[in-house]
Structure 1
Amino acid sequence: MNGSRRPVPAGPPGVSRRIVLAFLTSAAGAVGFAVTYGLGGQTQWEGICLAVAFAGLAVGLAIWGRRLVPVGGYVEEHEGFTPAPTEQAMTAAALTAPDSPVRRRGLLAALGVALTALGAAALFPLRSLLPWDRTRPVEALKDTPWGPDVRLVTSDGRPLRPEDVPANTMVGVFPEGRLDAGDAPAFAVRLEPERFARPPSGGHLGGLVAYSLLCTHAGCPVRIYLKGTGRLLCPCHQSSFNLYADARPVAGPAARSLPGLPIEVGPDGFLRARGDFTGPPGAGFWSRP
């Protein structure tokens, strides 16, 4: 049974402005996401910008649908897919009326700006999937801040001389200027060269050697040094490395030797690296098939 149809609501003053403001806020959030991602990315701010973009779009569409879109005041049984002539006439009148939503050009333009900005912002993360000017993940894991002429410093930034590493003492070292690099921690220790069963992969300076501090099982720092034995223990899963056999694992779950760090004495008398680690530091699970 047909009933009377409610007229198209004109909406209270300011509704259109609120919708436009919501859509422009959505566009601003999308632009903010794109700018943040383009400048290097910061997870928290990217999330906030996306939340603002989607929230603005949702608020704008909700207000538009509740306050400006006409609602039907009739109920009828479905009699086919072709609307009745009276219904077609009512639809045409609603779409061509001066206050019809589709004739509010400002609202449609603001919606277009919001959707365009959000769509453009969504394209930025695709850059991470492109190979241009990007290093393969496995290759990136092999590169650390260590390199030729990088000085070895302590945790407080003090450069080391060879005499600063006494016998049977393990000294933590870092690349100068990059104390915060997670893949760079290493250690220097003075051993007895005549006891080497295998030569150190990074070479040695009268028994002074340097290796990565990160266990090759799960990346824990190997901090327990058994003086006189040349054994280094990982406190996390009890892997044991023999420094006299090029830091080869002799017990525990670790299956790879600690990467060596080639060192030399610079013209200033301080210890310097001759290059990067002899292998990828830390856990090696990423390289397994």
Structure 2
Amino acid sequence: MTRTDQESRRERAASRVVGAAFGVSALGAAGFATVYATGGQTQLEGVSLAVAFAGLAAGLGVWARRLLPVGGHVEEHEPFDSPASERQLTDEALLGPESPARRSGLVAMLALALAALGGAALFPLRSLLPFDRERPVRALRTTPWAAGIRLVRADGTPVRPAEVVEGTLLTVFPEGHEDRGDVPAFAVRLDPARFAVPPPGGQVDGVVVHSLLCTHAGCPVALYIQETARMLCPCHQSNFDLLAAARPIAGPAARPLPGLPIAVDAEGFLVATGDFTAPPGPGFWSLK
């Protein structure tokens, strides 16, 4: 068998492989379309697409490697140095009497413009540095809750302990900061004899207060299950046991709901005695 015959056989074999690979790719694409059109199934769609792209890649690879001409090819390149005549013209343009470089006034104005642009560019950079603002990490760790701040409803009315009725949930805010996104809390009345772990913020006649923000993704944990004294987050079903310091017992949340230390002021209204016992909401930003 001559060399030409051998090359011809190899090319035919490579052509069959390429054709088979493209056929597999077409089948994978058809399978994806079929699964998608009949209701969809994530795993099958992924496998179908993987088969389609793998077949396409394999076919193109074999085609390029076995069927396209190969070999070394040399292309002549023009010399990198400019001809002497061009260099002379450049020198005359830059150093001649009409050269822009000899117009000192224009050069000075160009330098002034560039310096002004450079100075202006520093102002956006300054906004990234907290010269006159609270640092981001500290801002995330603290809230307006502080000693002496009254617990108020959304309409700004203060709350007395007796107004937290057993079996209900009362959303509260720090007085004067009702519009902050990290401050919402809830007050609920529980039987102190049922506490397996003391509330992190303490309690006043059975009234305990915790952050309303789920420690998984920051959704409001607004579903209260009275029989078991648990809070449920409707977003991802995290479940917190209020009788055990609001620790998570189900769902993706990994931290307890922060507690709010409370007391009663001279007028009989509930007030905070400090900030939350831990940063409210998701704590991914504090991971190291």
Instruction: Please identify the structure whose Cα radius of gyration is greater.
Output: 2
Q: Give the AA of the match of 2:92.
A: A
C-alpha change, 1:86 and 1:243, in structure 2 (3 Å) is closer
Single out whichever of 121-130 and 184-193 deviates more from structure 2. 121-130
Residue matched to 1:88: 88
Residue matched to 1:226: 225
Return the offset for 1:97.
3.3
C-alpha change, 1:181 and 1:80, in structure 2 (3 Å) is closer
TM-score of the pair, normalised by structure 2: 0.64
C-alpha change, 1:86 and 1:136, in structure 2 (3 Å) is closer
Return the offset for 1:214.
0.7
Q: Give the AA of the match of 1:97.
A: P
Q: Distance in 1 between matches of 2:110 and 2:159?
A: 62
C-alpha change, 1:164 and 1:106, in structure 2 (3 Å) is farther
TM-score of the pair, normalised by structure 1: 0.63
Q: Give the AA of the match of 2:263.
A: E
Q: Distance in 1 between matches of 2:102 and 2:164?
A: 80
1:107-146 matches, within 5 Å, as 107-124=106-123, 126-127=125-126, 137-146=136-145
Aligned residues: 212
Return the offset for 1:243.
0.8
Residue matched to 2:269: 270
- The answer to whether the Cα contact below 8 Å between 2:261 and 2:273 also exists between their aligned partners in 1 is yes
Residue matched to 1:167: 166
Q: Choose between structure 1 and 2 for higher RCO, CA contacts under 8 A separated by at least 6 residues.
A: 1
Q: Give the AA of the match of 1:84.
A: A
Q: Distance in 2 between matches of 1:134 and 1:243?
A: 36
Q: Give the AA of the match of 1:202.
A: G
C-alpha change, 1:139 and 1:79, in structure 2 (3 Å) is closer
- The answer to whether the Cα contact below 8 Å between 2:237 and 2:250 also exists between their aligned partners in 1 is yes
Residue matched to 2:287: 288
Residue matched to 2:97: 97
C-alpha change, 1:118 and 1:85, in structure 2 (3 Å) is same
Q: Provide the identity percentage.
A: 61
1:44-55 matches, within 5 Å, as none
Single out whichever of 140-149 and 112-121 deviates more from structure 2. 112-121
Return the offset for 1:162.
1.9
Q: Give the AA of the match of 1:215.
A: C
Residue matched to 2:151: 152
1:64-75 matches, within 5 Å, as none
**Superposition RMSD in Å:** 3.0
User: What are the superposed Cα offsets for residues 120-174 of structure 1, whole Å, 9 maximum, x if unpaired?
Assistant: 2333455577697876654442211111111212122222222222112111111
C-alpha change, 1:151 and 1:108, in structure 2 (3 Å) is farther
Structure 2, unpaired ranges of 5+: 1-77
